[in-house]
Amino acid sequence: MRITCTIVFIVTLIVAWVCFASIGDYNLYVVYPDRKVIKDMATVSDRVLWGGLYAFIFAAADTIALWIWQRLQSFYTRKSHVSESHIVA
């Protein structure tokens, strides 16, 4: 099986979504002038939606970095291959 950028994006998105939705703290903390703190709990839909947004951004950045890395590797591989083929013994 060939690993492509699409597969990496999908796997990263799913794993990051689960992590961000389950571990992330999306609660709202309100601090009043008398230093009283009230914590407003985030709903499940808030956690899923915000986790999905953060996961999409993370997966996109990860996939773009991988795509750039692959392009640089193929550029240097082609460059070294061409320079070696022109060597006359």
Confidence of residue 81 (pLDDT cuts 50, 70, 90): low
What's the rounded Cα separation, in Å, for the pair 3 and 5?
Answer: 7
The set of residues, in sequence order, having a beta carbon less than 8 Å from that of 43 and lying 6+ positions away, is: none
**Reported pTM:** 0.70
Q: Which ranges constitute the DSSP H helices of 1-89? A: 5-23, 44-85
Residue pair 35/1 in contact (Cβ under 8 Å)? The answer is no
> pLDDT tens digits for 16-72?
999 998 887 777 888 888 888 888 888 888 889 999 999 999 999 999 999 999 888
